A = this chain, B = another copy of it.
Amino acid sequence: MKRAVDLALENVKSGAGGPFGAVVVRQGELIATGVNQVTVRNDPSAHAEVVAIRAACQVLSSYQLNGCEIYSSCEPCPMCLGAIYWARPAAYYFSCNRYSAAKAGFDDAFIYDEIPLAPEKRTIAGLPLLPEIGHLPFDEWLRALNKTSY
Contact = CB atoms under 8 A, between A and B. Distances in A.
Interface residues of A, number: 94
Contact of A82 (B41, B77, B94, B149): B77
Given A38-B86, A94-B126, A44 B57 contact: yes
B137 A8 contact: yes
B79 A82 contact: yes
Interface in A127-150: 127-131, 133-138, 140-142, 144, 146-150
A138 B96 contact: yes
Contacts of A83: 44-45, 79
Given A79-B83, A100-B135, 5 more contacts: A1-B130, A13-B144, A21-B137, A44-B64, A97-B131
